[in-house]
Amino acid sequence: MRTTYAVGVDVGGTRIAAGLVERKGRMLKEVRALTPAEAGPFAIVDAIIDLITEVTAGVHPGEIAGIGVGLPAQIDFLKQTVEFCTNLPLAGVDMRSLIMSRVRHPVAIDNDGNCAGIGESRFGAAKGVRDFVMITLGTGVGGALFFNGEPYRGSRGLAAEIGHMVVRLDGPPCPCGGKGHIESYMGRPAIAAAGRAAAAEYRGRAIREQAGGNDERVTAEDVINAALKGDEIARQILLDAGEVLGEALVGIVNLLNPRLIVVGGGVGESCPFLVERAAGVIDRNALAGRRDVRVAQAELGNDAGALGAAALAFDEHDSREGLHR
């Protein structure tokens, strides 16, 4: 049977979103809740179930292809298990079975970066592009690699952790426990730390002002807002992050020769100048013949993850039913 809707759930470190999505990517209804991160995995599953129930209210179960769930975690896609999760207590938790035992629909889980990539690939900035790289700049830094229209998952489904590519092994600590990873330089905590250091001095007064005059309370958003209002110190913090991102992307471009790099996530979307700086570094440093790669901002905003998760649920449904997309 060709079903009409899928539910896409995007689980973030701070918020969970669930959307009722049509095959062509139209989101008919979307609901959000805070992630009960401190309350443990069962509370997170409860919150997911509540949102699914709310978003599917009034829809005939037979019309729903399934449920896709994007998690901010490393997922063994073949086994459909959570291997590792930095920001939520989900490591080793069988999220798929836990969710499936509470709903009447098939469930597929994937990494949130892959879901955002699938969303942009089907409905957004990468529509029609078969070989591209997705990078999401937010609290964490995630990503996805698309070869020939499909996400590349690696031998165990753990590929494309772009945020944990090493920039300098003796660099600042990364929330994953490593050192000098891309996320160490441009995850929200890293931007906030750079902002706090600047705000403690006179030169960072505009950033301090954003944080209500208290340099210890500076967040990444305070740095971004100060930069968007024209403060050069804040802007330089973000341009430095763009420089590091560009350096890492030169390696990716030389290695994979993508046609397009899509930069999304809350930080990526609010800082076009950071993305432009990274694009400039690629333009000057990538091997000749590869420099025509386009660097674009994501188009789907906060909805990319949920739309991609819904597309995953449609795909799984269609392959079960022997339908081709």
Residues that bind Zn ion (CB under 5 A): 164, 174, 176, 178, 181
Question: Which SS3 state, helix, strand or coil, does residue 41 take?
Answer: helix
Tell me how far, at minimum, the Cβ of 149 lies from Zn ion, in Å: 28
Q: What's the Cα-to-Cα distance from 239 to each of 33, 185, 249, rounded to whole Å?
A: 33, 11, 15
Query: Residue 284: is it exposed, middle or buried by C-beta count within 10 angstroms (0-12/13-18/19+)?
Result: exposed
Nearer Cβ to Zn ion (142/195): 142
Nearer Cβ to Zn ion (87/225): 87
Tell me how far, at minimum, the Cβ of 181 lies from Zn ion, in Å: 3
> Rounded to whole angstroms, how far apart are CA atoms 239 and 90?
34
Nearer Cβ to Zn ion (209/247): 247
> Rounded to whole angstroms, how far apart are CA atoms 44 and 311?
22
Nearer Cβ to Zn ion (105/181): 181
Nearer Cβ to Zn ion (119/163): 163
Nearer Cβ to Zn ion (167/176): 176
Tell me how far, at minimum, the Cβ of 287 lies from Zn ion, in Å: 27
Over its C-alpha atoms, the chain yields an Rg (Å, rounded) of 20
Tell me how far, at minimum, the Cβ of 145 lies from Zn ion, in Å: 17
> Rounded to whole angstroms, how far apart are CA atoms 102 and 104?
7
Sign, CA dihedral 150-155-157-1, equals: positive
Residues in contact with 319: Cβ distance below 8 Å, sequence separation at least 6, in sequence order: none
Tell me how far, at minimum, the Cβ of 139 lies from Zn ion, in Å: 13
Instruction: Residue 91: count other Cβ atoms within 10 Å of its Cβ.
Output: 14
Tell me how far, at minimum, the Cβ of 195 lies from Zn ion, in Å: 20
